Each structure stands twice: as C-alpha cells, then as structure tokens.
Chains A and B, each alone.
Chain A
Amino acid sequence: KAGVTQTPRYLIKTRGQQVTLSCSPISGHRSVSWYQQTPGQGLQFLFEYFSETQRNKGNFPGRFSGRQFSNSRSEMNVSTLELGDSALYLCASSPRGSEQYFGPGTRLTVT
C-alpha cells in the first residue's frame, strides 16, 4: 500500500498570509490527524478527523483549522501566519484512530 502523502513538502510564506496544506491518507484509512513539530515544543496535536467530522481538537488558536473530504483526504489551513507558526506539519492516518502512520510532513517557514 502507498503511504501517507503530503503536499507541498516545503513552503515559504510571509507573516499575515494564509496557507493550506494537503494530506492523502493510506488507502482505507478513515482517520486523519494533524500535528505540529517544533524543536522547542516537540510534537503537538492539532486535530483529528474521522469520516469528515472533527472528532478531537488540540489547544491551538482558531487560526488553525481543517477539514476532511468524503475520500478521507484532509486539508489544514492556517490564517494570518505568525513567525511562531514556522514548523514541520505532520499528517497521520489510521484505520480507526489508534495506530497512526505519519506522512513525510510539510516544512513551513514564515518570514
């Protein structure tokens, strides 16, 4: 089976802009979770979608949002970018939500 794919792999944006990241889960997986990884904070949970519904949410501001489509593909959006949003954004897919398999990530740099 093909693994989790994420696009784009690298992104450079300016403060105040918005960005949309995309994730395609492993075929048959219905749960998609998003995480932010930074050197200082480590891996932090953003949100999880299952069958197009947000099932769990982390402690991030409302500027971070996401959605899931009927084919289980997911997108996350960050509006009004701040310098502190520079991070590796990781998508993970799972059949039910338990064991999660990560994609390669999108490296976002905000200048």
Chain B
Amino acid sequence: QKEVEQNSGPLSVPEGAIASLNCTYSDRGSQSFFWYRQYSGKSPELIMFIYSNGDKEDGRFTAQLNKASQYVSLLIRDSQPSDSATYLCAVSPGSGGSNYKLTFGKGTLLTVNP
C-alpha cells in the first residue's frame, strides 16, 4: 500500500522562527509533490508544489525534495500566528501523464506562538 507519513505534531514554534515540516513516501515512482494548508473547519489550500529534486521557494515558503531518500519537506520562514494550521503532504504518481490520484499524509499540526 502506498503511504505518505508525516509527524502528527503538534509542532510548536515561536513567532518569527523557522518551522520545518517533514514527509516521507513509500512509492518510489511518485513524480509530483504537494503541500496543503488546512485551517480548522476549512478545506485544504494548495500552498506549494514541487516536481524536481532540490529546493523551490515561494515567499516565506520553501519546499525541498529528495527523491533518492523519498523525502519532501516544507520550511516556513518568519512564522506568523496566522500560519497555525494543519499542513498536509500529498504525493501523486503523475507528471505529464494521466495518473493524478493524490495520496495524503495525516497532516502535521503547526502552532505558532506570539
């Protein structure tokens, strides 16, 4: 069974610090990787996606992918209380093909303390 594993947390960081969220996946054929943010009572919001090994930066967010280690991470710089949410890692076999079934981890609860 293809699995995506995340530390459930909660991960607690002070305001202004760097939050580091980690995710491992079992399917070596995975091609597409996504990070979603979900506030309590809301639906998931796509914040980052990455397809190639290395780092991808977007504002305060950096996604890192290491396919050899089957590991993807999300760094949030200058964390704000508004970043407090559950962060979901999702993995898909598809990239340019037609298999876009997303497998999600259970999520990591992040709390940013003022």
> Are A43 and B104 CB-contacts (below 8 A) given A56-B99, A97-B94?
yes
At the interface, is chain A mostly helix, strand, loop or mixed?
A: strand
User: Does A45 make an interface contact (CB < 8 A)?
Assistant: yes
* A33 and B100 within 8 A (CB): yes
What total of A-B pairs shows CB separation below 8 Å?
61
User: Does A75 make an interface contact (CB < 8 A)?
Assistant: no
> Are A42 and B106 CB-contacts (below 8 A) given A98-B94, A99-B34, A102-B45?
yes
* A100 and B45 within 8 A (CB): no
> Are A103 and B43 CB-contacts (below 8 A) given A42-B104, A42-B106?
yes
Count class of interface residues, chain B: 20 to 34
Q: Which of A90, A97, A101 has the most CB of B within 10 A?
A: A97
Chain A residues 29-70 with CB under 8 Å of chain B are 31, 33, 35, 42-45, 48, 50, 55-56, 58
Can you list 30 pairs linking A and B with CB atoms under 8 Å apart? A33-B100, A33-B102, A42-B107, A43-B44, A43-B90, A43-B102, A43-B104, A45-B101, A45-B102, A48-B100, A55-B100, A56-B99, A56-B101, A88-B43, A90-B43, A94-B100, A97-B98, A98-B32, A98-B95, A98-B100, A100-B46, A100-B102, A101-B46, A102-B36, A102-B43, A102-B44, A102-B46, A103-B43, A104-B42, A104-B43
Q: A33-B100, A55-B100, A56-B101 are in contact. List 7 more A-B contacts (CB 8 A).
A: A44-B104, A45-B101, A48-B100, A50-B98, A97-B94, A98-B32, A98-B95
Residues of A within 8 A of B (CB): 31, 33, 35, 42-45, 48, 50, 55-56, 58, 88, 90, 92, 94, 96-105
